[in-house]
Structure 1
C-alpha cells in the first residue's frame, strides 16, 4: 500500500522532464531554442513552490481531520491536475496546473505520519524507508 502512494507522490516530479522540452517548444513562447530551458525551469519549479507553501497546512489538516481524507484528496488531485497539465495548450495553464498540483499534493508527509502510526515500533524504520 505504501509503495502505491509513493509512486503517486513521485509521479508528478519524474514524469515531467522527458517531454517538457517539446511541450515548451510547441507553446511557442521561447523566441530561440536556447530559451526553452529557461521556461521549462518555471514549469518544473512551480510544482515544488506549491508544495513548499502548503505542506504545513496539509499536515495540520491531517492531524485535525484524519489521514485518510487527506490521502484521498492528494490522490485525486494527482489524477486531476496531471491530466489538466497534459492537456494544457498554453504556458500559463501549464504553470498554473503544476502549481495547483504542488499545492494539493499532500501525500508524502501524511503517508509518513500514517506509516509511523500503523506499524509497530520495531518495524517503524522499515516502514518509513519504504
Structure 2
C-alpha cells in the first residue's frame, strides 16, 4: 500500500481513553473502523458495545455513516502530514433494548388532576 493512501486514526472513548493511533487505508469504510474498535475495546470498561450498530463515530462534529470511506470523512482543511485524526466514540444501545426497557417501565397511570373551568 502506498504510504500516502494511509490515514492515522485515534479513537477517543467516553472516559477520555484512546484506542490507537492505528493506520488505515483511505478506502476503509466506517463499518470496518467500528468492527476494529469493538475488537480493540478495553475489557475493563463498564460500557461495552456488542455490535457495530451500538457504536457511533463522530469526526468534525458529524456522525459518520457506515457506508462512507475514511477519505470521504476527512476534513479537507487543517491536515498536517504525519498528523493523527481523532474521532470520538459514542456507545448507544440498540433500539430493541430500549423499547423493551420502556415497556417494563410503562404502567397504567391514573389521572389525579381534576380541573374545573368556570
TM-based fold match above 0.5: no
**Structure 1 length normalisation: TM-score?**
0.28
- State the structure with more CA Rg: 2
**Structure 2 length normalisation: TM-score?**
0.30
More strand, by proportion = 2
More helix, by proportion = 1
